[in-house]
């Protein structure tokens, strides 16, 4: 097996074995969506209008809160130092770990969305577009989160700091992600232009974010 696939398989295995990592993110997503109507009132029309935005924001928070573990465990036990000396360039290591985070966090969160959409009276026709948008946008979320994870490696309160650093960078993902779903709800505007912007942003993140993340890793490991 090639070293890249081996690293990916290892990270996926560890995440699934740990179980709690994936489950906690999903649970957090559920909790936020469940208590939001308690704060906003049960008016179904209101909930339906804010559902895409609410779901996206909750997803971003859930993904960010689990982003610390992208590098943390390997940093703690020294594996990261070994990976630095290994056959794979560090930027590829960062990319693979970001990919593993997407598969184990972004994708499950996106797939849970239709169910949570029921809680917020998300219009039927928007659901598939929202899931599609989330599947297209969560790679950007994971890959950019890895930049935050590498910058805050080993620091106190790194979870909150990571979220503070990275959330402003998610503004384009949020805007175009919600627009894709809203366009499917409200009418003549096509959802595809914002969807394509989302794809473009994700693709750019996949290529560029690992470079920043690996540079930050080198700084943290020095």
Partner 1 sequence: MPSLANPTRFLSLVDRLVPWLTALTAILFAAGLYLAFFVAPPDYQQGETVRIMFIHVPAAWLAMFGYMLIAAASLGTLIWRHPLADVAAKTAVPIGATFAFITLVTGSLWGKPMWGTYWVWDARLTSMLVLFLLYLGLAALWQAIEEPGRAGRAAAILALVGVINIPIIKFSVDWWNTLHQPASVVRLGGPTIDPSMLVPLVVMAIAFTLLFVVLHLIAMRAEILRRRVQAMQKTQVEHAALAGA
Beta carbon of residue 176, minimum distance to partner 1 (angstroms, whole number): 6
Residue (of 3, 185, 26, 215) closest to 109 by Cα position: 26
Q: How many binding residues for partner 1 (CB under 8 A)?
A: 27
Cβ atoms 102, 139 nearer than 8 A: yes
Q: How many CB atoms lie within 10 A of CB 188?
A: 5
User: 3-class secondary structure for 166-212?
Assistant: HHHHHHHHHHHHHHHHHHHHHCCCCCHHHHHHHHHHHHHHHHHHHHH
The residue among 21 and 198 lying less far from partner 1, judged by its C-beta, is 198
Under the binding rule (CB under 8 A), the answer on residue 216 touching partner 1 is: yes
Q: Is 210 helix (H, G, I), strand (E, B) or coil?
A: helix
Q: Which of 30, 161, 203, 206 binds partner 1 (CB under 8 A)?
A: 161
Per-residue contact string for residues 128-157; x = within reach of partner 1 by CB under 8 A: -------------------x---xx--xxx
Rounded Cα gap, residues 91 and 221, in angstroms: 14
State yes or no: residue 59 binds partner 1 (CB under 8 A): no
- For position 203 contacting partner 1 by CB under 8 A, the verdict is no
Site for partner 1 contains 167 (CB under 8 A): yes
Q: Restricting to residues 173-202, which ones interact with partner 1 according to CB under 8 A?
A: 175-176, 179, 197, 201
Residue 183: closest CA among 196, 198, 195, 201: 195
Binding region for partner 1 (CB under 8 A):
147, 151-152, 155-158, 161, 164-165, 167-169, 171-172, 175-176, 179, 197, 201, 208, 212, 215-216, 219-220, 222
């Amino acid at each position: 097996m090639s070293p890249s696939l081996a690293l990916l398989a290892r990270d996926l295995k560890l995440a699934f074995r740990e179980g709690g990592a994936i489950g906690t993110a999903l649970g957090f997503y559920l909790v936020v969506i469940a208590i939001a109507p308690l704060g906003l009132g049960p008016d179904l029309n209101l909930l339906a209008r804010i559902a895409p935005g609410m779901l996206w924001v909750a997803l971003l928070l859930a993904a960010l809160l689990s982003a610390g573990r992208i590098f943390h465990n390997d940093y703690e036990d020294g594996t990261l130092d070994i990976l630095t000396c290994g056959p794979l360039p560090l930027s590829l290591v960062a990319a693979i770990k970001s990919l593993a985070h997407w598969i184990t966090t972004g994708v499950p969160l996106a797939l849970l969305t239709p169910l949570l959409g029921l809680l917020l009276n998300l219009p039927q026709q928007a659901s598939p577009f929202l899931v599609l948008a989330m599947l297209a946008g969560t790679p950007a979320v994971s890959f950019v989160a890895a930049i935050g994870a590498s910058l805050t490696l080993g620091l106190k309160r790194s979870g909150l700091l990571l979220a503070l650093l990275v959330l402003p960078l998610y503004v384009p993902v949020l805007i175009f992600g919600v627009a894709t779903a809203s366009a499917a709800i409200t009418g003549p505007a096509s959802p595809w232009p914002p969807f394509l912007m989302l794809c473009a942003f994700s693709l750019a993140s996949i290529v560029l974010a690992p470079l920043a993340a690996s540079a930050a890793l080198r700084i943290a490991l020095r």
